[in-house]
Chain A
Amino acid sequence: MTRLLLKRILLGVLILWAVSVVVFLATQALPGDAARAILGREATPERLAALREQLQLGEPLHVQYLSWLGNLVQLDLGTSFSNGMPVSELLGERLNNSLALMLCATAISVPVALLAGTYSALRRDKAFDHTTSVLTLVLAALPEFVVGIVLVLVFSTGALNLLPAVYVMTESGSAWSDPVQLVLPTMTMVLAVSPYMVRIMRATMIEVLESEYVQQARLKGLPERTVILRHALPNSIGPVAQVVALQLAWLAGGVVIVEFLFRFPGIGFALVDAVNNRDLPVVQTLALAIAAVYIVVNLLADLVSLAANPKVRSAQ
């Protein structure tokens, strides 16, 4: 178990490094550089030369990359090309805001989806099951920006004027200080990740309910509640955890579109901005952060499956 964990962590670090190389090369392949992007239409040769000098863009590529990587190892994320602020300072608040969004989305979607899936399985082919089935299919097919726009239409700019349509900065800069503004982006993300979880929970639960040990438990005369909570649920957690993990990992990337739509000051918004500005230190850092979320969440899912399944656990 410990060896497996160590192996996975090592692999994770390797993947992160590979991501940094790919992202570095990809941003270099983008036409134009940060100086061009910053000056845009105002890029006279004189002003370009002056700015490139300031940003030290004249250095060869491998020198730029190695100095960035070297600083990273010392936990120094470098400074943003766009505004000269330290990347850690620039992204600190953003990361905090995105985490707020992701945590809210997770806290709502996971229990709701697992409950809905289980209930559907128990009420198989009844009205609730059918409704859930259609609803999750439709939601799964809709891109999240469509879901977001519909929510805005319904709750802020159309019939009801209940919730803010876009995010407007608060005095403190932290998303936690004004939870009302989190509602619509959170709902959008919940609706984007829940359908798969509901469907997989239902399918797994049905399979488990039809298994021999559940039949056995029922034949033993155990109350239905005990059958479900003690026997069925734990056995369905393993496979479901994998899908839940994938969906949560998606949140880290999917946050880009949702944040852009709601003008939410998080890492997704910052990433779009940094790519447009060719702000390499920021793009690199964000790509690594998102990749790290993927890796960690998947690792956690593996652990949950292992813990839920003694057979696999003892085989290691």
Chain B
Amino acid sequence: MPSRGRPITGPSRRDFFRYVAAGATAAGAGAVATGCAGGAVRKAPLPSGPPRYGGRLRVGIVGGSSKDTLDAHAPVTHPDQARVFQLYDTLLRFNDNYEIEPSLAESVESDPQAVTWTIRLREGVEFHNGKPLDAEDVIFTLRRISDPANPQSGAVGLTALDRDSLRALDNRTVRLTMLRPDVTLPDQFAQYANGIVPVGYDPDRPVGTGPFAFDSFEPGQQSVFTKHRNYWREGEPYLDELVISDFPDDTARVNALLGGQVDAIDQVPLGLLRVLDADPNLRLLESQTGAWLPFTMRVDRPPFDDVRVRQAFRLVVDRQQMIDQVLGGHGTVGNDLYSPLDQMYNSSLPQRTRDVAKARRLLKEAGKENLSVELVTSPVAAGTVEAAQVFAQQAAEAGIKVGIRRLDPGEFFGDQYLSWDFAQDFWFTRNFLSQAGNGSLPESPYNETHWAHPEFTDLVQRARATTDPAARRELIWRAQQIEWESGGHIIWGFPNQLDAHSVRVAGLGVDRSGIPLNSYGFRRAWLAR
């Protein structure tokens, strides 16, 4: 067995995946996957010309159940997420390249210490009920999210916010101070779970400023939305009506698209890609993302408390084989670091590749030859269980015995969640500081690896308080280097987002956020005849 480079190429990508990949590869950032495989399937032409107004778009979204909610600040499942994007707008937003841009706020600016912030609101924004957006609504929203008695999804990102400091300078201006400096505030304002709601907001009769207004809602089944006639973006939305249906079952979702009962679906199951691609009236929408499916090793418990063991585990992974077998080739290789789309991502570090001999040597030095570990897995995201199986095979070649313990998601997220010694997790695209705050600091709520590295923590804290981009980049690069050398994640790749829609649907583009169907951007969608 060779010891350098990529010794194990594994079984070559299966033909149908290659076929599909050829048909679905996005032709680069900004381009819609047009699916011109050139093979047997003659695809119907995409609609062209100016967007057409009117019509009703029906979309099928993965998951959902009777616990579905319309609450702007408590989305859990994909259908919840999809609805939040229609009903509400955030102060800032991530564009298709995952860069922050203004939305309801014209600007969000801080003093040089990143302590005092000023939010300037856009003029002429109206809620669905006709009430104009003003500073009080923003204050109400931020207080609601961070309410200590009933913290919402976004509360984690706003822990540094001084709730009592929120005040309106005038109708369109909000001033706030932080308990400690935090340059990630704009990032938090752009998170979809932090949509702005009016004073007195009631999730049972949801009102927002989003492109679509609430019409009807049946948890676990479907929800209907109508066009917001006074939407602040010129010309949008194009559709008169939007129907979002829940589809917990993959087969039903694909069948609904094939049978023409919905016009678009998110999360194409890899096994059914070929079926969809063979239909001339359907298009695949594929986006590279920064979403990741890590293996998580607890750095405070044996055997992973020994850095050599963690390094050995990272070295046994054949990343390309993972991408090919788990994702059918639809993904990019990872380097044990998250946030690859962050402009401050440390691209100077060498790509880690498989090196079984070195892994064996490290294990021997650590006195952990013939190591036997249990990997806890669960189908919490597409590909996790498959990744566990491929990992077990790859590790076996380095003499590591990996026993796979498969749990249902309820048990995985049960009392032992975040305390498994060796498990998996999933994350969407996030920037480095925001991600580190969620999962890599001692006080982070989702610190699966129990990572508590004083120098790393100090670097992150300092980066948060550094408004100068060059100085911040330096701190972040050093933090990532530490994580690359000794962290507890095995980040083997970033899965692409794969959705599908009828050829009648236009306006949806490639999006790097990892949120399906162009971040559920139905305000830009239109229906061709």
Contact = CB atoms under 8 A, between A and B. Distances in A.
Interface of A: 30-32, 36-47, 50, 80, 82-83, 90, 149, 152, 156-157, 161, 164-166, 168-169, 173, 260-263, 265, 269-270, 272-274, 276-279, 282
B76 A166 contact: no
Contact of B151 (A47, A161, A265): A47
B439 to A, nearest CB: 12
A157 B445 CA distance: 45
A276 B258 contact: no
A44 B445 CA distance: 6
Chain B at the A interface: SS class: loop
A32 B261 contact: no
A261 B251 contact: yes
Interface of B: 58, 65-69, 74, 76-77, 148-153, 155-156, 218-222, 245, 247-249, 251-252, 255-256, 258-262, 380, 407, 409-411, 413-415, 417, 426, 445-446
A278 B413 CA distance: 13
Given A40-B409, A44-B151, A82-B65, A31 B415 contact: yes
A92 to B, nearest CB: 13
A210 to B, nearest CB: 47
Contacts of A31: 407, 410-411, 414-415
Given A50-B150, A278-B410, A166 B252 contact: yes
B153 A42 contact: yes
A83 B66 CA distance: 6
Contacts of B221: 169, 265
A168 B246 CA distance: 10
Nearest to B260: A161
Chain A at the B interface: SS class: helix
Given A32-B414, A82-B67, A83-B68, 17 more contacts: A30-B411, A36-B414, A44-B445, A46-B151, A50-B149, A161-B259, A164-B261, A166-B259, A168-B222, A169-B221, A260-B248, A260-B249, A261-B252, A262-B252, A265-B221, A269-B220, A273-B220
Nearest to A158: B258
B156 A166 contact: no
A261 B253 CA distance: 10
A207 B366 CA distance: 78
Contacts of A37: 67, 410, 413
B252 A263 contact: yes
B258 A165 contact: yes
A216 B262 CA distance: 63
A41 B153 CA distance: 10
B259 A263 contact: no
A263 B249 contact: yes
Nearest to B66: A82
A279 B66 contact: yes
A156 B148 CA distance: 51
Contacts of B77: 40
